[in-house]
Each structure stands twice: as structure tokens, then as C-alpha cells.
Structure 1
Amino acid sequence: MKVFAKITIILLCILLASAAAATSYYFIATRGTHLETEKFSLAQNCAVILDNGGNKVSEINFSQKHKTVNFAKIPTCVKDAFISAEDKNFYSHHGLDYKRMIRAAFTNLRAGSFKQGASTISQQLVKNTQLSNEKTLTRKLKEIKLTRQLEKKYSKDEILEMYLNTIYFGHTCYGISEAADFYFGKEPSELTIPEGAMLAAVIRSPNNYSPFTNSEKCLNARNSVLRRMFTLGKISESEYETAKNQPLPQPRETSFSSDSYLDAVYEEFQNLPLFSPYKLREGFRIYTYMDKTMQEYISQLTTDADRSGKSLIICDNQTRGVSAYYSTEGNLRRQPGSAVKPLAVYAPAIEENLISPCTPICDEATDFGGYTPANYHDKYCGWVSVQDALAQSLNIPAVKILNELGVEKSCAYLQKLNLPVLDTDKNLSLALGGMTEGFTLPELSAAYATLANGGQFAPVSFIRKIESEDGEILYERDPLPVRVFSSDTACLTNKMLRGCVQTGTAKKLNTLPFEVCAKTGTSGTEKGNTDAWTISYTTRHTVGVWMGNADNGLTNITGGGLPCHYAMLILKKQYQNAVPKNFTDDPDIVSCTLDKIAYDKDHVLRLASQNQPTATTFTQLFRKSNYPKDQTSDLITGSYSLRLENNAVIIDLCQTEYYNYLIKRENKSKTTTIFEGKANQSFQDSTVKVGEKYVYFVRPYFINDKGECVYGDEFRLPAVIIPKKPKDIPDNWWER
């Protein structure tokens, strides 16, 4: 017992000492911490937007659109939504919910990570308005102290009113007044049960739960709040059932500014997860990648042939920054059509060593297990090279290659390019850009910039950095490229897309005096087109053009038409003073001389023999890891045979596709040339005489690039004697 008593005393002393130490640390860490009541109101502030030269291009004045709403004018159902979602015991605790804190602590310990929070509405108000965003013990202790002060100084209704007037709702909206106007076009007093529940859901994660950027997540979160309101008795069952079936709001034209580039800056700004939006309420500067000259140019760019909406973008390949952006339809997700082929099919297949640019493939009507795609106007070309199939945007070869590559593998590459594909779209029609949602113009342009950057991907961005009013850097972009394709794969794909410009669907760009790679794409039906694309790039910039209508109104525009013309105009303007450098070859690319006869006749890739005539060869580029190994046998050492048919000598030749032949004949000690030139598999000598002996000499040759005859060895064939014809025997020989 004495031992137990001693242990107990020791433990009590340790506990008391720990408590004393903790108390001392609390008072030391929070010394001088007090509420700054002026921070409960938004400061007179603005955000200044600057271009890539540091020049001011716009300003957002938050204080002008912010209005404080009196507590009495906020519907009870809206207050209940926030209390149900964030702090059900708000009116019963004194700022700190100890039971909830203990429960959250155990939950996080079991999970081994931060899964559940325990901040009350009072704590959130303090954290958002009074403190920094750092996650430290000192900050948490200050939060606790300030929360106690808050609860002593203000009533619960006053705390809830300040909370609702300062909480961040995404899309640069602070407070319920801005949120009600932005999302619903209403005053807070007009908000309904489902609308209040949606706003209460959005604040949990404005970037993830906005109805305008992620409607499915928002709907689930809103209905979760409604269910909690019903469970807590805040709404009736009928109100719950009615509310959860109400649709989410749709973006309104007044929700966005008229400037496309600034719209994109705001959208990117509100999705930056690296800092608390409350840090930005005191005014800040947003530095962008905008090239003001090009921005003004594309904003005013139009043609007499315009007959739909359009979106235009210019991206700097080195910084991955957006130099200029303009859209009449908004940043929509659209079906990419054939513009997806290089990214989903050709580059991945090259990377997987399934194809090379010159790989032959048959373009013919094909049934892929019930899926029967067709070419444009149902025209088929037969055997073509992969690079020609891409240049002419043939559909069947693309589907064949995807079928060999595998849809899952293709989607894995697209995922790395930040082009995710829905599970329902994972089928062979992906090769032709058939998908439910599609991609935005910035997303697709960023993926193409990967090819211009040697196979390394990084998303494009409008914002370079953000500074506070006093010069503190709050955010600075540091794109970390991720390798998607090997540099040699990117090099070969670039050359193929250069072919699209030289001879293919993007040939409107071939008038430019510098190297351009491009791919076009068109989506639609037999009645008309909904989407037309041209994505082009040089070594310095990627230029994307999309044409169509937000309401899917049909046009007759194709990707190789007006979008390609717009891309040409933009590139011409971009490089009016200095042209970009040409693309360089990758060291892991090799040049191989191939047998053209085997390629055209047998549709195989085979190295030419050492002595093969140059007229029967052609040169192509390959990855070092995937060049042909088979080689045509030494042509100059062929084999020949001789036979008699109907008193004529027939010499069977070989490799007549490759060589001309010189044939001599010896008869009665006299040698004469009886044939010289191109033969067709065999040569027939019908000038022979019965009973005489003949010896034939065969010598292959070809004419080189200088016009000279290059002869092979002469082959002597066995001598042949032309037999005498037997006398005819009369039918009635027995009667004689």
C-alpha cells in the first residue's frame, strides 16, 4: 500500500506539474492576444490585376459589392442550415464544444490523420478574422483565448450575424449578401430552405462544392445539410422531401465580368488552395502572364465569315502561362473530336512502341465488335502510313491503333495530361473524341504544350503570383513539369503534326514562314457541327481555337476551316517581329533506310539491303528503342532458273522490282545482248532454233542517283539444246 501511495503521489505531482506547465505556456503563448473588433467588418480593399510587365490592367473593389445584413433580415431557415451543418450546439455552449473536441480527437487518432474538425461557429469566426492560417499549437491556443473573449463580449445572435457576414462562399464572395446575389440573384431575406442549405454546404470547401464548378458534389453536400436539418427537427419531412428535389442554381451572365481573361483570373484565384481567402481581405496584387498587346488583338479579332461563338488562347510554352485568352461562350467543356487523337492514340502508341510514324495501316471499313466507325464522307484510303492517317485525320486507323493500345492505357496517359475521362466514356469511340463532357480549351492547349516541351506536362495558368498590400508574397506559382512522354516520342509526334500542317487538315497554317505543328478536330452530326477546333504550337507558344455555340447550335464550321484561319492570324501577329526557332531532333531518334518495295507490296517495315537501289528505298525516323530489325536479303546475289516451253527458252528472274537486267546469249561461239531493261518476273527467248545449243548470261543492274549503271555479278546459266520436234504420226499408221 505504501508503494501504491507513493506512485499515486508521484503521478499526481507529475499531473499537477504538467498542468502548471501547460497553463504557463498558455498564458505566455497568448500574452497580448485580444480581439480586434474592427476585423469583424470587411476592410476597404481591392485587388489590383497586373499584366506580365507589371502594368495595372484592372481592379476588383470588394468593399463596393459587400453589404452587411442585419440578423433579423436573415431567414430562420438559413440560420438553422448553418447551425445544423457547422455547430448544432451553438446556442448551448460557451464558444468551445468540449465533447465535440474529444470526439474529434479520438476519430483523428483512429484514422491516423485529420479526418474530423471540432471548431464551433465562434471559433471559425475568430480564426477567419483574427488569426493567420498557420497550423500550430500557439495559434490554436490564441484561438481558444479569443473565442472566450468573443463569447463574453457578444451575444449568440451577434456572433452568428458577424459569422454570416464574413464567411467566404467562393467566387470572391464574402458574406451571405454577396453569396445570395452571386448564386441566386437574391437578397438574403429571400433565400429559401434549399438555397440556405446549399450556401451552408458551400462554405465547407468553396473550391470543391460550388454549383458552378462541381454540381454533383454540391448537390450531395446540400442534401446532406437538408437531411441533418430534418434530423435535428429544423424542418419537417415534407419540407425536406421538397427541398432535396429542387435544382441547383445555374451561372448567370451577371455572375461574371465581360473580360474573358479577368474571368479566368478570378476563377483560378478562387480555386487556389494554398492560403486562406481571409488573408486577402486587406487588399492584394495579382500578377498575371497577360501579354497586353496580344490580349487586345485577340479580343478584337473577327472575320466576315464568323457565324458562331469562339474561344481563343495563347500559352507561353516555357512558363506555361496564358498570354492571352478570349471567349464569347465562357470556359466550356466540349467534345474535342479528332483533336484528341495525338494525345489519346498516336503519342501513347509511339511511347508503347506499338507504332512509328511510317507504320503501315489499312484504312478500310471495319467492325470492332459491333462498333462501326466511319471516315468523313465514308471515304477509305486502303494502306496508308500512320503519319498520313493522322495528317488526313482518318478515323479507322485511329480506332485500330487504340484497339491495339487498349482504352485503359490511353486513359492513363490522358489522366497524366489532366484530361480525365469518365468511366462511361472508356470505349473505342474515345479515339474520335466521343465523350460526355469533353475538355476546356485551356486544358486541351496545356496538353498540346506538353509535346512542345519534350513530353513534360504542366497545367497552364493565368496567375503568376499574389502579393499582399505590404509586399508579402502570398502565392507564387512554381509549375513542376511531370513527364508523360519520352522526349523522342514527343519529337516524332511533333513531326507528324508538322505533317498535318504541310499536307493535312491544318494546311492553312503552311503559309507561315516558320515551323508550326497542329491538329484540327470537328464534332457534330449529319445535320451540322457543334465543335470545331485547331490546336497549334511552335517552339515558343501554343495557340488554341475553338468555335461553336454554348447552346449547341449547329454550324457548318470544320476545324480545318475558320478555326485554322484564326490560328494563322494569331500566329502571324505573335511573330510579326521575330520568328520562333525550329524544332530540334532528339538524340534518341534514328534514321533508317527501308525497303520501299516490301513496304508498298507487303506492307511491312524492313531495312533495305546494303546493295539495294536507292530508287527502291526510302528513309524514315524511329525511336532507338523501336526501329525495324528485319532486313531485305542481299539483292545483288539472286538466283535464276531456265526452262523450255513450246520451243522457247524462259528465264525466271528474281527481284525484278529492284533491278534492271542485262541478258546475253551465246550461240555458235557468238555472244549477243538480247535484252536490257526492266523485266517482269521472267524473260522469254522465242528466237531460238531447233537442235542448236544456247548459253545464257544474266546480270542485274540499277541506275544510281548520278545516272550511272551499277552492275552486279554476271550469272551463267546451264546450257540448253532446243530439241527437234518429233515427226507427226498419222492417225491411220496401222493401215500402212
Structure 2
Amino acid sequence: MKVVRQPLAATGRLVPLLRAGLIAGIVLAAAAYPLAAAFGIGAKTTADAVRQKASMLRDVRPAQTSYVYASDGRTPLTMFYEEYRTYVPLSAISPHMQQAIVAAEDTRFYTHHGVDAKGVARAFVVNSQSGGVSQGASTLTMQYVRMALRDSARTPKEVQEATAQTSMRKIREMRTAIDLEKELSKPEILERYLNSAYFGHRAYGIYAASEIFFSKKPSELNQIEAATLAGLVKSPSEYDPASSDQKAATDRRNYVLDRMQVMGYISPDMVQKMKQEPIRLKLTDPPRDCTALPEKYNSWGFFCDYLKNWWSAQPAFGENPLERIDALRRGGYKIVLSLDPKVQEAAENGVQAKESTGSPFAHGLVAVEPGTGRVKAMAVNRNYSLDLSNNGEHTNPNATSKMKSNYPNTVAPLLGGGTLPGYQAGSTFKMFVMLAALDQGMPLSTAFDSPHRYRSEVYNGWAPSNASGAMTGRQTMWSGFGKSVNTYFVWLEEQVGAEKAVRLAERLGLRWRTDVDRDMASAEKADTWGAFTLGVSDATPLEMANAYAAVAADGRFCEALPVLEVSHPDGTPARYITASGMVQEVAKPRCRQAVTADAARAATDAARCPTGDTPAKGSCGGWSTADSVRGTVGRPVAGKTGTTDSTRSAWFVGYTPELAAASFIADPDNPFNAVGDGQSQRPINAVAETLRDALKGQPVRQFPEPSDAIVGGS
């Protein structure tokens, strides 16, 4: 009977201990499989699953911080992260740190095989005597298994299974640790542990901890600093050295120093000296997201916000916008922006000197590189900030409620790339009608005797008029575009068909964001949209700069692109699979021929007329709407002005062979608040000065001439 009672008595003691979560108190490495079977796990199935899990954990990498750089690839701007972490190899981690973490967490790390049998037995005795959980027995390997399972979890259930304080979790963790040590060497496990551990203050991994607490690289940590950080892993909040009372942190650091002495890492005399030293921190608060850019780069926040919106639309980073932003915050990408500091400075000078941040009118500019679609500048007379406390209020035009105005502080995507519909772009849309006509074979010399007012039978008797009586008379595409003759372009739109102009605008990147615009652009109504040529649709500066950039690039449209480089932590470029099955780098330009090169060259020849430039083939008819531009830019330049009814908004889009820029001025809070004719010159000057300053010192390039066939007779 005695032989029978002893196992029963042991089992009786086991039950309450298991309920207390003390599986480690009775599980030795050799007993892992029998116990697993005893708990009904199924030995063979569990063994296979555990081995597969251990093999999988070999390649698990925890979430890492994504870094954003200026176009030089070296100037850091901001970071995106859920867990602030940068993975570093063991060779980049101070030996003192390696020694300190082993001394603090697992003194027999180099002798056990994943589970420390002596530690388990010791914990069992101590916990049995205390009647609770007073001592654990997790090795560094077991702790890493737990962290890696958490980092690799894809569902809430998997997260719960990886961290739950249960008997089964502890047994699986121990067996996985044993198998993992067959997959990885001790240095490899230590490297992964140090890059996964949480040290408090949003510092995940030793790189972040070194930077946040001591403002240095992990390779530079001394013994006192290493002991301080190693002491944090057990309880980051309790031992936080950045708290007002450092006693707990100091006591814990000194404990780690003592353990380092026992292991022979530090002499007794040195330990005593070190323990007398206070903890000296040099705290760093790592920036996060677009509002954390350095003050001198505050205006770049709008570009950063555009980057986020662009990123959330890229299938390369996930199945939906949430997955893609999660990838941005966890993927450890290196992101080099296409924003050019020289062009950005020119744009800011061109915009901010003309309209203060305290103005209700937003005055902005976007510059795009023809042939690549890379966005080179985004400037607007606003501060990029979430602090709206000093902003005024305005009445929502569609409601009676009061809302905070967008000035002087805002994070609204006023320049494009977000959800805002934009602003009516006026006569800048005449470019799309002219391109459609040219693309259909109509020559630049197409002439019409334009009256002051024109009644359109095609558009149900609609009768638009010109802005000035001086526009009356015979016009061609050169003079009609240069003077912005409404009646000529309504007639031209009739000849080519409004739907063709609408579809061409779509090929050049325009999207319809209001219910009215979507309805009018539909297949059923597009051909009746006579007012399309007068720019009654909303558009963003980003769209317009990119559309005109395609004209500058011989009709080759490139999707707007905010990056020069996007690479994974290992340096390989981020890629995606195109609709045709090709593998392409995310940061490479995505271009297509939207109109023929000859049509684009012809449109450019006519578009030189509004700027005061001289076309290669035709006559501008004596005067133009922005004739100061050529003199300011000092090189061949094309473009188009645009104003809406009562000058509620004013635009100018201009380009050279190297750069296209679109500028506007309008009230985003109240589209009925007219900027007035006196403000219409500001976008013209902003673009002209930006092109001049951005291209200063570069060789002068000429526009390619159109063919004689598309020019036509005089």
C-alpha cells in the first residue's frame, strides 16, 4: 500500500501547483513528453507540432521600426513604429550587455539545453514552501520562445495562447525551447533575445533601449549601463530608471552587478566602485509619425502625410489599408523620399511669402518630375500640427454647426493624396480638351471665329461667355489657349466630344471625388458635360502637376510617386507583382503612354503662349494671361492659368522639360469665400519663382517640336 500511496500523494500536491501556474516547478526537460501525454495533448502529435513551431521560430523577426530619410538617403526625418525597435547583430552589441543579460536572467544559459533542470527544481522547492508563485524557472531560450510566439501571432487567439499563464503553455514553451536549441546556437538565441526583449519607455530590443536611455549605440554600452538595462527586463515599470525615485532601479542594477561578479565578469573591487555610482541617463524621445518631424522640417509633414496615404493604397504592403499601415509600423523599412530639399525650399519661398499661415486662404504648390512622376515638393501656407487650439472656427457650408478652421495649424491633405476633393481648377482643364482634340488628329491650326458669347446647341442651349471682349475673333489652339478663350474651347469640345476629354483627363490621373463630378463623368452623362472645359470639377494640385508633367514628358503619364527607395531591413528592395505578372520594385516609376508624343508636343507648343514664351510653330495672337512667367523662369516654359466664377479659386500650372508645378489659392473651409481677382497673380508668381529657383544652375533644355502634320496649315 505504501508503494501506491506515495505517487498518489505526489499527484495530490501537483494539482494545486498546476492551478497556480507552476508547471516549471515539476517539469524537468526529460519529463516534458510524458507530462504532455498525461495532460492529454497526444505525444506524437504534440511532438511534431512543437518541432515545427521551433523550426518556424528560427526565422521569426520581431516588429521593427521603419525609418524615413530625405532624398539624400542619409538625413533622418521621422520613424513609424508600433514597437520602437531596430534589429542589430550580436557583433554590434557590447559584450558587457551580453554578459549582463545572462547574469540577470539565466546564469546557466551556456550549459543547459533550453530548460534549466536545476532552476526548475529550485523553483519547485521555493514555490512549494511559499505556497504561491515567488520564483520562476524560465531560461533565456524559454523567454525568447514566448516573445517570438507573440511576435509571430496573427490572431488574438494566437496572442492569448502565446502569453496565457496556463500549464499547457508552459509545457509547450519548455519543449519548444529544447527543440529550438537544436536549431540555433547559443549566440543566435542570445542575439534574438536581446533584439526582442522589452525594456520599457517604448524601447523594444537593445538598440532602442540603448538609444532611449543612454542616447548611444548598443556597442557603446559600458558595464554599469549594461547592468541597468539588463535589470529592466524582469519588470520595466518597477525598475524604471527614468522615474523620479531611482532606488528600485539602482537596487536592481546592483543585483545584476553582483551576479556579473559571481560569474567572473567583473572583479569584486570594481563591483563595489560601480555600485556607488548613480544611474546617469541621457534620455532620447524617438520621433514617431508625421507630426514628429524636426521643427525645421515642419512643412515636410504634408509630404510625409502624403507618403502615408500613398503607402496605404499599395497592394505590395498588404491586402487592405489597415494591413499596409501595420506593415509600415512593423516592417523595418528604409524609406527614402523623392522630396528634393532644393525644390521644396523654392516652393516654400514661393508660397509662404505671398500668403501668411494666418490667412483663411490656403496657398499651396506641388512640383513633380516629368517622366518619373516623382513628387519633388509640397508646400502650403500652413503649420503641420494636430494642435488646433488656436485655430478659429467657421460654419460648415453644408450644416449649421461650427467647426475648427484649417489655419494656422492642420494635418488636412490640402495638396492632394488624401480624401479631400480639391478645388475647382478653372481653365487649366482646357489642356484636356486640347489634348483630346490633338490626339484625335485635329491640328493646332484648327480655327474658329469665337464670339464673346457662344450658344451651344450640343449642350442644350448653354451659353458661356469670355472673360473679356478682347478675346472675340478668329482663334487657333495657340491663341485660344494663350488668351484662355472660353467660347473657342466650348466649340472645340463640341468637335471632339466631351467624353473624350473626360476620359483623357482620367488617363492623366484625375479622379472624381464629389457626387456631382462622379455623376457627370459617368458613361451616361460625360458627353453632355459641356462645362468640363471650364474646369468646374474639383482637382488637387498633386493631380494637376502630375497631369501636366505627362505633357512635358511627351505624353508619358507616370503615377505620382513619393519615394526614391523602399527597402526591407536586409537591404532588398520592396517589390510587388503587376497585373501582367511581372515583379517590379515599389519605388520604380510606373509609367504608360497616355497620349501620343506628337499630341503632347503640340499641346506644349500652344501652352507656351499663356506664359509669354514663343511657340516653335505658331502665333500666340499678341497677348497672354501670364506673360510674366517666361521672363521670371528664364528658360522655355509652358503652362495655363485658371480661375473660377467670381474668382473663388485661382490656379496656375507651369512646366519646363525638367519640372512641372501646380499652384492654387482658395478657402478650403468655405469654397464660396472668393479670393478675388487681386489674388489670381499669386499662383502664377509662385510657380514661376519655384521653377526659376529649383532649376538654377541646370542646363537649359528646349521643348521638342511637334510635327508639321499636327501643326497644320495657317
Q: Name the TM-score, length of structure 1 as normaliser.
A: 0.49
Q: Which has the higher strand share?
A: 1
User: Counting helix residues as a fraction of each chain, which structure ranks higher?
Assistant: 2
